[in-house]
Amino acid sequence: MKPASISLLSAAVFSMGAGPGVAAPEVVVSIKPIHSLVASIMKGVGEPKLIVDGAASPHTFSLKPSNAAAIEGADVIFWIGPGIEAFLEKPLDALAASATVIELEDAPGLQKLPFRESGAFEAHDDGHEAGEAPEHDDHQHADHDDDHHGHGGFDTHLWLDAMNAKAMAAEIEKTLVSADPVNAAAYQANGAMLMKDIDALDTEIKATVAPVKSKPFIVFHDAYQYFEHRYGVSVAGSITVSPETMPGAERVDQIQKKVKELGATCVFAEPQFEPKLVAVVTEGTPARSGTLDPEAATLKSGSGLYFELMRGLARSMKNCLSQGT
């Protein structure tokens, strides 16, 4: 066989996953947890690009020229919405004119929880008893016209409820099938497997946190409502409502009093933000400190990240809260 024939054969084999002569769409995703879901559904077809990579946080991210180029060249873009990725709102309007842009906070079937305005709150302040997770349905949708994160809208850390991850995965699959019908069967098979894996993860997390559900704890910022409601853990307050705004002395004093009053056993930091605040809050109390990573700052991006993220949260809670018992 001539070298040219080998080259042609190799090209044909390479293109089989995306159909004869058809390239997979250019897909761009905003943040790691969503990128993980997209990567799972695109397995064997293509690799989505990620904007907020490494240890960066979407709360404080600044768009790079390479990110702008990726947005401009994208066929499909997935993001949660301006409530958590405010830095993307104007660039998407300016650069993504030819792309299909999917705002996943609008995915059907999501449970949306109102954003809590105060950093000191009682766990399950929606009327549920501690340790009792509410039924997961779509009757708690907030008005989409409300202002976003921190201004009376809904909490946008939607992926921390595994059932919300399934709802977003269904929307991702539907979008990719529509954008790339040649690979529809692959997206659908991957999507079905992802749904099964998320169901198994959901069951695993419930079992992991079950022994410590009744123990109150404090988090760095109010990112964990969805985890709290799905799995019944007892979040008693946050040091700051939103990490864009560092708390003043009055807020820190308020949370420190909450730790003492409730006997909160752990105060959790986050890897991207100032850990000294946690030391201040726990000073003079028996509370231990730990770390939670709700946005996967310390994790390597990829299809397995979502599962690693959720298991990591559950393990960190169990490890810190079970000490001394």
For the chain, what is the radius of gyration of the CA atoms?
Answer: 21
Residue 260 identity (one-letter amino acid): K
Give the chain's mean pLDDT. Answer: 82
d(CA 87, CA 127): 35
- Give the whole-number percent of the chain exceeding pLDDT 70: 79
Q: Which residues pair with 238 in a beta bridge?
A: 219
Question: Using 50, 70 and 90 to split pLDDT, how confident is the model at 26?
Answer: very high
d(CA 283, CA 294): 24
The predicted model scores a pTM of 0.82
Q: What is the pLDDT of residue 320?
A: 94
Instruction: Map tokens 């993860």 to a residue.
Output: 201
Q: What is the pLDDT of residue 122?
A: 46
Q: What is the pLDDT of residue 324?
A: 59
Three-state secondary-structure class, residue 101: strand
Q: What is the pLDDT of residue 20?
A: 45
Burial of 238 by CB count in 10 Å (0-12 exposed, 13-18 middle, 19+ buried)? buried
CB 236 within 8 A of CB 228: no
d(CA 174, CA 244): 34
Q: Which residues pair with 221 in a beta bridge?
A: 240
CB 236 within 8 A of CB 264: yes
Q: What is the pLDDT of residue 283?
A: 84
Residue 166: pLDDT over 80: yes
Eight-state DSSP code of residue 129: P
Query: Which pLDDT tens digit goes with each residue over 214-248?
Result: 999 988 888 899 999 999 999 988 887 666 667 77
Residue 9: pLDDT over 70: no
d(CA 155, CA 276): 26
Q: What does the pLDDT average to over 168-197?
A: 98
d(CA 71, CA 129): 45
Q: Calculate the alpha carbon distances from 134 to 90, 137, 196, 199, 227 in Å.
A: 36, 9, 22, 17, 11
Among 11-15, 96-100, 208-212, 253-257, whose mean pLDDT is lowest?
Answer: 11-15
| CB count in 10 Å sphere of residue 270 | 22
Q: What is the pLDDT of residue 249?
A: 81
Cα dihedral 174, 179, 183, 186 sign: negative
> Which helix (DSSP H) or strand (DSSP E) does residue 188 occupy?
helix 184-209
| CB count in 10 Å sphere of residue 86 | 15
Three-state secondary-structure class, residue 151: coil
Going edge to edge, which strands form the sheet with 266-269? 234-240, 216-221, 266-269, 288-291
Eight-state DSSP code of residue 154: B
Query: Which pLDDT tens digit goes with each residue over 30-48?
Result: 999 999 999 999 999 999 9
CB 67 within 8 A of CB 46: no
Task: Decide which of 117 and 313 is more confident.
Answer: 313
Q: What is the pLDDT of residue 265?
A: 84
Q: What is the pLDDT of residue 274?
A: 64
Residue 152 identity (one-letter amino acid): G
Pairing between β-strand 216-221 and β-strand 27-29 as defined by DSSP bridges: unpaired
Task: Decide which of 26 and 259 is more confident.
Answer: 26
The full DSSP string for 26-45 is -EEESSHHHHHHHHHHTTTT
